[in-house]
């Protein structure tokens, strides 16, 4: 669909048909707009009339539109109407269309002429109101005119259909019959009626109309809009005589064609939609009217959608435990460690970092002063305490500068910064294993993770980390304790997962864990895999699978495959960090030698079309992290002028190839991002950006490729599908 939607300023239009009696128009306007004409001020049921108007949220019109004929009775009625309108002071534009050369509607041709006029007028009004209200009055003209207007409202949509009822016989003072009464009628209906006259009239809401979704399907290039079925806009207080066009199809026939072919048209629309999609979207979204689907497909994602993105239920499949907490959260964890220390230890640790605290600029090797990489459990705990002291007692300016400022601009750090990849890691020096080795850190750390995930709108999160680095003597016990800490913080895991309850009743967050192995330490891999299998037995489906990370230049997947045999035997899902700036050959090895179900980053897959096709066919998902990819490898991002000379992000290329993709955060604290921020970054960095429809499809992809048992994954998909549909339907109303 390529229909162009022209945005108009919202306005409210009252559209009426008019026959021999023009009094029905004041009777409707006087109730709908009492601030213009308080006709029912003395009505015995005035309060009930006000309540009815409020219940239907009806607003006063900004314009009054009328359809009528050129018959003698209708023309005489217009004279009285114009006299009354002048007495009101012409409070708004009054636009009048008359079907040329029609009179009593006594022939088929006359009836079709006025019907075409009513349909086109209603179509034009439905576009002119924008986000305002179209209200139809069925009280005037012949019954066929009222029926035509009601049909038009049912097709093009209307806030309400209005009518008025009165007793029989009608009061002569209102429904004038003699010349004298007719002469007095305009003045009578230009002010509040007396009690007895007001009581003889009762406005009512006869119904509402919802726009037919078939209107928004383009058939053989034919659209249903006022450009295709033109009607000139009548000038205020002037009657526009409208003749049927001599050439071209009528709106009546086009609408009839669509109604008779309705099921086929919707089927064709959805089939065409599927042909043009890279991925299936949420199933429920295909129930939306075509116009709403088209709006989602044509609207480009930008920063104005940040709140919308954040509110949508999402899944993050690639988030490092050690790099997820921002500075305020890290400081809160540090506070718990500080509280656990004795007074003597506090003074001692303060003294050990006093030199750093006294300096604005820290030397690049300052982390080594807190303890080297190879350290005992006691040394690791001391390092955690020193990191906590730095977090609590260094100023915000010191921390921001020495963690982030010294690595700015954070673009292509691996190749452009003197310190290479370590410049990317620098903001994480006081988090992760620096804190998690301390027994007092895990509980507040877990609380911060849950709070962060909920603030981002996550309902599913896969954390990943290296327990053997956090607790060397009992890494499986660390996984068990992390699981319990997350449960205590309000998250759901496999044992507390309730598939019969929607996300809103489940705490809205399910968290699992992926154990990261280090390809730089091949001599310990077999033992670490064994520990992961033990943790799987202790924690059930909380341990979701394994990851392999570290410098890709060290030990190829082919060389490490033998160490994964126990993981294969226990059917653990595998995700591999590969192709982040290194050759696509590494991705090939990860897929074929380590049987990877997902690949972390996989950016260089764009260089190998055959392998990309194989990934698509096998459903191997790429975990793309746009911000960290820009920071480490380097891609052009309009938000960063320094990146203008770098290549475009390959997301669009991957999508066009049909590769499964999940957008992820990697290290939210290090990259100062959120999952919503990653979608915005991806949209900026990719050719053509992202539409809202594509954004929703990518969100779904993350759930589809979650490391969950299939039964639980399907349940979660259905629950989130319903949640997404409710939010999108509300957004696009």
> Is position 294 within any domain?
no
DSSP 194: P
Q: Average model confidence (pLDDT) for the chain?
A: 89
DSSP 599: E
- Both 237 and 324 in one domain: the answer is no
In order, the DSSP letters of 660-678 are -EEE--B-HHHHT--HHHH
pLDDT at residue 668 greater than cutoff 90: yes
**What was the pLDDT predicted at 101?**
92
Is pLDDT larger for residue 729 or for residue 528? Answer: 528
- Both 228 and 321 in one domain: the answer is no
Counting residues of the chain whose pLDDT is more than 70, the rounded percentage is 91
Determine the Cα–Cα distance for residues 462 and 320; give it in Å rounded to an integer. Answer: 9
Widest Cα–Cα separation across the chain:
110
Q: Which of 245, 279, 298 is the last residue of a domain?
A: 245
Which residues, listed in sequence order, are joined to residue 624 by a DSSP beta bridge?
663
- Both 238 and 321 in one domain: the answer is no
pLDDT at residue 711 greater than cutoff 50: yes
Determine the Cα–Cα distance for residues 141 and 164; give it in Å rounded to an integer. Answer: 13
| Banded pLDDT at 554 (limits 50, 70, 90) | confident
DSSP 261: T
Can you tell me the mean pLDDT for 368-372? 80
Per DSSP bridges, beta strands 510-518 and 458-465 are: parallel
> Is position 198 within any domain?
yes
Q: Report the range of poorest mean pLDDT among 243-252, 386-395, 436-445, 520-529.
A: 243-252
Q: Report the range of poorest mean pLDDT among 97-101, 379-383, 584-588.
A: 584-588
Under 8 Å between Cβ of 349 and 386: yes
Under 8 Å between Cβ of 227 and 74: no
Helices (H) and strands (E) in the chain, counts: 33, 15
Q: Phi and psi of 517, rounded to 5°?
A: -100, 155
Determine the Cα–Cα distance for residues 114 and 126; give it in Å rounded to an integer. Answer: 18
Interval 302-360: pLDDT, tens: 999 999 999 999 999 999 999 999 999 999 999 999 999 999 999 999 999 999 999 99
Q: What is the 3-state secondary structure (H, E, C) of 634-653?
A: CCCECCEHHHCCCCCCCHHH
> Is position 186 within any domain?
yes
- Both 240 and 329 in one domain: the answer is no
**What was the pLDDT predicted at 430?**
95
Q: Report the range of poorest mean pLDDT among 28-37, 45-54, 722-731.
A: 722-731
The CA-atom distances, in angstroms, between 21 and each of 25, 149, 678 are 9, 17, 63
- Both 230 and 344 in one domain: the answer is no
Can you tell me the mean pLDDT for 430-442? 94
Determine the Cα–Cα distance for residues 633 and 622; give it in Å rounded to an integer. Answer: 16
| Banded pLDDT at 39 (limits 50, 70, 90) | very high
> Is position 711 within any domain?
yes
- Both 550 and 458 in one domain: the answer is yes
- Both 326 and 223 in one domain: the answer is no
> Is position 615 within any domain?
yes
Interval 79-118: pLDDT, tens: 999 999 999 999 999 999 999 999 888 899 999 999 999 9
Interval 48-81: pLDDT, tens: 999 999 999 999 999 999 999 999 999 999 999 9
Q: Report the range of poorest mean pLDDT among 88-92, 130-134, 556-560, 630-634.
A: 556-560
Q: Which of 245, 260, 282 is the last residue of a domain?
A: 245
pLDDT at residue 1 greater than cutoff 60: no
**Residue 175 CB contacts under 8 Å (≥ 6 apart), including other chains:** 21, 23, 166
| Banded pLDDT at 166 (limits 50, 70, 90) | confident
Q: Which of 226, 245, 264 is the last residue of a domain?
A: 245
- Both 218 and 340 in one domain: the answer is no
Can you tell me the mean pLDDT for 546-562? 84
Domain count of the fold of the chain: 2
Can you tell me the mean pLDDT for 632-657? 95
> Is position 267 within any domain?
no
Helix 262-275 / helix 251-260 crossing angle, nearest 10 deg:
80
CA quadruple 132, 137, 142, 143: dihedral, nearest 10 = 100
Determine the Cα–Cα distance for residues 679 and 306; give it in Å rounded to an integer. Answer: 9
In order, the DSSP letters of 206-247 are EEEE---GGGGS-BTTB--STTTS--PPPPTT-EEEEPPPSS
Under 8 Å between Cβ of 631 and 669: no
Interval 445-504: pLDDT, tens: 999 999 999 999 999 999 999 999 999 899 999 999 999 999 999 999 864 445 455 444
407's tokens: 């690595």
| Banded pLDDT at 625 (limits 50, 70, 90) | very high
Under 8 Å between Cβ of 20 and 74: yes
Alpha-carbon dihedral sign for residues 265, 266, 269, 274: negative
- Both 235 and 324 in one domain: the answer is no
Determine the Cα–Cα distance for residues 501 and 490; give it in Å rounded to an integer. Answer: 15
Instruction: Give the closest residue to 80 by CA, choosing from 114, 68, 92, 142.
Output: 68
196's tokens: 């007895």
Helix H segments across 440-512?
Answer: 442-455, 467-470, 475-488
Determine the Cα–Cα distance for residues 591 and 573; give it in Å rounded to an integer. Answer: 12
Can you tell me the mean pLDDT for 4-20? 78
As a residue count, the chain comes to 733
> Is position 572 within any domain?
yes
The CA-atom distances, in angstroms, between 146 and each of 103, 168, 431 are 16, 20, 72
Instruction: Give the closest residue to 305 by CA, choosing from 624, 635, 688, 691.
Output: 691
- Both 443 and 574 in one domain: the answer is yes
- CATH number for the domain that contains residue 578: 3.20.20.140
Under 8 Å between Cβ of 97 and 235: no
Alpha-carbon dihedral sign for residues 482, 484, 485, 487: positive
Determine the Cα–Cα distance for residues 204 and 396; give it in Å rounded to an integer. Answer: 65
List Cβ<8 Å contacts ≥24 apart for 294-298: 294/1, 294/3, 294/5, 294/216, 295/5, 295/692, 295/732, 296/691, 296/692, 296/693, 296/696, 296/728, 296/732, 297/1, 297/691, 297/692, 297/693, 298/5, 298/691
Q: Report the range of poorest mean pLDDT among 275-279, 513-517, 577-581.
A: 275-279
Can you tell me the mean pLDDT for 574-600? 87
**Residue 276 CB contacts under 8 Å (≥ 6 apart), including other chains:** none
**What was the pLDDT predicted at 456?**
97
Determine the Cα–Cα distance for residues 497 and 506; give it in Å rounded to an integer. Answer: 8
pTM: 0.73
State whether residue 471 is helix, strand or coil. Answer: coil
Under 8 Å between Cβ of 158 and 150: no
pLDDT at residue 398 greater than cutoff 90: yes
- Both 200 and 335 in one domain: the answer is no
State whether residue 176 is helix, strand or coil. Answer: coil
Alpha-carbon dihedral sign for residues 576, 578, 580, 584: negative
Counting residues of the chain whose pLDDT is more than 90, the rounded percentage is 70
410: alpha, beta or left? (left if phi > 0; alpha if psi -120 to 50):
beta
Which helix (H) or strand (E) covers residue 600, if one does? strand 598-601
Q: Which residue has the tokens 């109101």?
A: 129
Can you tell me the mean pLDDT for 133-148? 91
Can you tell me the mean pLDDT for 139-150? 90
> Is position 669 within any domain?
yes
CA atoms within 13 A on the CB side of 643: 24
- Both 155 and 33 in one domain: the answer is yes
**Domain residue limits at 384:** 314-728
Can you tell me the mean pLDDT for 640-649? 96
């Amino acid at each position: 669909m390529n229909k162009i939607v022209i945005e108009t300023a919202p306005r409210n239009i009252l559209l009426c048909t008019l026959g021999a009696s023009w009094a029905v128009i004041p009777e409707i306007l006087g109730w709908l707009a009492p601030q213009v004409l308080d006709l029912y001020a003395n009505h015995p049921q005035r309060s009930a009339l006000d309540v009815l108007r409020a219940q239907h949220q009806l607003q006063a019109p900004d314009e009054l539109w009328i359809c009528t004929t050129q018959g003698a009775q209708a023309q005489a009625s217009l004279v009285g109407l114009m006299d009354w309108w002048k007495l009101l002071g012409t409070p708004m534009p009054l636009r009048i269309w008359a079907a040329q050369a029609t009179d009593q509607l006594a022939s088929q041709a006359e009836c079709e002429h006025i019907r075409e006029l009513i349909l086109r007028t209603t179509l034009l009004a439905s576009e002119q109101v924008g986000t305002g209200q179209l209200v139809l009055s069925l009280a005037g003209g012949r019954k066929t005119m009222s029926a035509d207007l009601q049909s038009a409202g049912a097709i093009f949509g209307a806030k309400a259909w209005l009518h008025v009822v009165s007793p029989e016989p009608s009061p002569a003072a209102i429904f004038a019959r003699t010349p004298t009464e007719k002469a007095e009628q305009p003045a009578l209906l230009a002010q509040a009626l007396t009690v007895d006259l007001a009581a003889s009239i009762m406005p009512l809401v006869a119904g509402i109309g919802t726009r037919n979704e078939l209107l928004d399907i383009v058939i053989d290039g034919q659209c249903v809009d006022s450009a295709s079925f033109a009607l000139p806009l009548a000038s205020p207080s002037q009657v526009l005589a409208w003749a049927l066009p001599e050439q071209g199809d009528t709106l009546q026939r086009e609408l009839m064609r669509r109604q008779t072919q309705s099921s086929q048209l919707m089927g064709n629309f959805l089939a065409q939609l599927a042909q043009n999609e890279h991925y299936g979207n949420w199933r429920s979204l295909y129930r939306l009217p075509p116009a709403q689907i088209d709006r989602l497909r044509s609207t480009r994602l930008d920063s104005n959608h940040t709140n919308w993105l954040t509110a949508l239920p999402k899944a993050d499949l690639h988030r490092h435990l050690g790099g997820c907490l921002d500075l305020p959260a890290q400081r809160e964890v540090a506070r718990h460690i500080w509280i656990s220390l004795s007074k003597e230890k506090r003074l001692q640790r303060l003294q050990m970092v006093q030199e750093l605290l006294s300096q604005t600029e820290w030397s690049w090797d300052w982390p080594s002063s807190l303890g080297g990489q190879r350290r005992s459990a006691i040394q690791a705990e001391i390092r955690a305490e020193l990191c906590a002291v730095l977090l609590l007692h260094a100023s915000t300016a010191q921390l921001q500068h020495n963690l982030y400022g010294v690595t700015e601009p954070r673009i292509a750090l691996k190749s452009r910064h003197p310190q290479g990849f370590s410049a990317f890691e620098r903001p994480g020096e006081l988090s992760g294993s620096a804190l998690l080795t301390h027994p007092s850190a895990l509980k507040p750390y877990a609380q911060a993770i849950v709070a962060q995930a909920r603030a981002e709108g996550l309902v599913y999160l896969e954390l990943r980390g290296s327990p053997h680095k956090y607790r060397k003597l009992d890494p499986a016990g660390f996984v068990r304790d992390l699981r319990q800490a997350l449960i205590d913080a309000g998250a759901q895991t496999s044992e507390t997962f309730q598939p019969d309850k929607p996300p809103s009743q489940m705490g809205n967050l399910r968290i699992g864990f992926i154990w990261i192995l280090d390809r730089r330490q091949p001599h310990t891999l077999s033992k670490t895999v064994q520990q992961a299998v033990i943790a799987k037995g202790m924690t059930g489906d909380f341990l979701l699978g394994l990851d392999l990370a570290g410098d890709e230049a060290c030990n190829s997947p082919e060389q490490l495959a033998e160490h994964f045999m126990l993981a294969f035997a226990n059917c653990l899902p595998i995700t591999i960090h590969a192709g982040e700036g290194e050759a696509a050959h590494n991705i090939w090895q990860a897929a074929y030698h380590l049987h990877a179900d997902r690949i972390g980053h996989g950016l260089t897959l764009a260089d190998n079309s055959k392998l990309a096709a194989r990934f698509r066919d096998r459903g191997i998902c790429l975990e793309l992290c746009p911000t960290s990819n820009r920071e480490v490898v380097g891609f052009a991002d309009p938000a960063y002028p320094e990146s203008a000379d770098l290549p475009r992000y390959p997301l669009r290329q991957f999508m066009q190839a049909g590769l499964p993709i999940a957008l992820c955060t990697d290290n939210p604290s290090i990259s100062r991002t959120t999952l919503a921020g990653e979608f915005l970054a991806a949209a900026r960095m990719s050719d053509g950006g992202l539409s809202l429809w594509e954004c929703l499809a990518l969100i779904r992809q993350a759930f589809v490729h979650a490391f969950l048992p299939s039964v639980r994954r399907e349940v979660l998909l259905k629950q989130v599908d319903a949640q997404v549909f409710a939010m999108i339907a509300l957004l696009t109303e």
